[in-house]
Amino acid sequence: WILMVTARSPTNIAVIKYWGKRDETLILPINDSISVTLDPEHLCTTTTVAVSPKFEEDRMWLNKKEISLSGGRFQSCLREIRSRGTDFEDEEKGIFIKKEDWKKLHVHIDSFNNFPTAAGLASSAAGFACLVYSLAKLMNVKEDEGQLSAIARQGSGSACRSLYGGFVKWSMGNDANGSDSIAVQLATEAHWDELVIIIAVVSSRQKETSSTTGMRESVETSPLLHYRSKEVVPKRILQMEEAIRTRDFPSFAKLTCADSNQFHATCLDTSPPIFYMNDTSHRQVFCMEKWNRSEGTPQVAYTFDAGPNAVLIAKNRKVATQLLQRLLFYFPPSADTELDSYLIGDKSI
């Protein structure tokens, strides 16, 4: 016999950034973060997990290519889910699995990203969220999304926020074992559905510092990062929660842009400095700031993760249309701008 489960998880974009760990193995952050989960149309991972007594070892394929499962992060997620598996039975098919059997049975994992890996868009968030969720369903794990988010977190920090749609907060927690470092949903995708997200996909990417390495170096060398995590983010989290609750776009945009800029400032404050944004990214910031100023009130928020792709959040559909026209006029996909395309995604699951 063979048992199979398929799940789909979208990626999420942080509007208050996670940058810096206090525990690298358990992946515990030095501050809370807040994100928006995208709809699965453009940036999502689909994962099928299967278990059968015939499988002789755990194996995984990503975009049809076999990859190694030996990494500590994969192993942590597999171990945590296996240890929470419960009895399963399907009388019709004659399948009876005792909870202790999950540790002996091997799994095959087939994962697929619906966006080109070459685009360099973050895939670990959707990937680990999907892996953990599908394994949990397969092994009849009874834990809720919050507890599953603590497991996905051990695959990649930002993955814990992809277990929910809408607006999500990852609370850093206090426990040394990470049990309270979990994600919670602040609002569903329906709460603020006028927002439209446009992602500028950069084509040719310079080799850059991974998030994991970058944040380790920032924790070790940037005084600004420590000031940010203690003095700035706690206040911003409260303000952002309020802006989301009241659908206050001007505050939401101001906080989102300020937090992206401060995150990149901590990267510059790192020794040696880390440059994630490129010339086009900087010009896009300038263009959005100018537009927001000329309108007298923010129309668009921008945010950049550990790379030069701009994530732009428009106030509503009308603004999104104007935004796209502006982007295509000032930043057409070309060799000069190093842009490949624009992805449009509403926020939702």
Site residues (vs ligand DP6, CB under 6 A):
14, 17-19, 27, 33, 122, 124, 156-158, 211-212, 305-306
DSSP 249-282: HHHHHHHHHHHHHHHHHHHHTSSS------HHHH
Note whether 218 and 268 are within 8 A (CB).
no
Q: How far is the CB of 222 from ligand DP6 (least distance, A)?
A: 14
Q: How far is the CB of 268 from ligand DP6 (least distance, A)?
A: 14
Q: How far is the CB of 4 from ligand DP6 (least distance, A)?
A: 27
Residue closer to ligand DP6 (CB basis): 125 or 349: 125
CA distances from 338 to 4, 201, 268, 279 (A): 41, 9, 22, 10
Residue closer to ligand DP6 (CB basis): 9 or 299: 9
Residue facing ligand DP6 at closest CB distance: 157
Q: How far is the CB of 293 from ligand DP6 (least distance, A)?
A: 26
Q: How far is the CB of 19 from ligand DP6 (least distance, A)?
A: 6
Residue closer to ligand DP6 (CB basis): 124 or 181: 124
Residue closer to ligand DP6 (CB basis): 136 or 306: 306
Residue with tokens 């974009």: 13
Q: Is the peptide bond before 29 cis (omega within 30 degrees of 0)?
A: no
From CA 284, how far away is CA 302, in angstroms rounded?
9
Q: How far is the CB of 180 from ligand DP6 (least distance, A)?
A: 17
Residue closer to ligand DP6 (CB basis): 52 or 261: 261
Q: How far is the CB of 291 from ligand DP6 (least distance, A)?
A: 24
Note whether 218 and 274 are within 8 A (CB).
yes
Residue closer to ligand DP6 (CB basis): 211 or 280: 211
Q: What is the 3-state secondary structure (H, E, C) of 183-225?
A: EEEEECCCCCCCCEEEEEEECCCCCCCCHHHHHHHHHHHCHHH
Residue closer to ligand DP6 (CB basis): 13 or 107: 13
Residue closer to ligand DP6 (CB basis): 18 or 192: 18
Helix (H) or strand (E) holding 328: helix 317-330
Structure tokens at 260: 């992206």
From CA 264, how far away is CA 278, in angstroms rounded?
11
Q: Are strands 196-202 and 310-314 parallel, antiparallel or unpaired?
A: antiparallel
Q: How far is the CB of 262 from ligand DP6 (least distance, A)?
A: 12
**What angle, rounded to 10 degrees, do the helices at 249-268 and 211-221 form?**
80
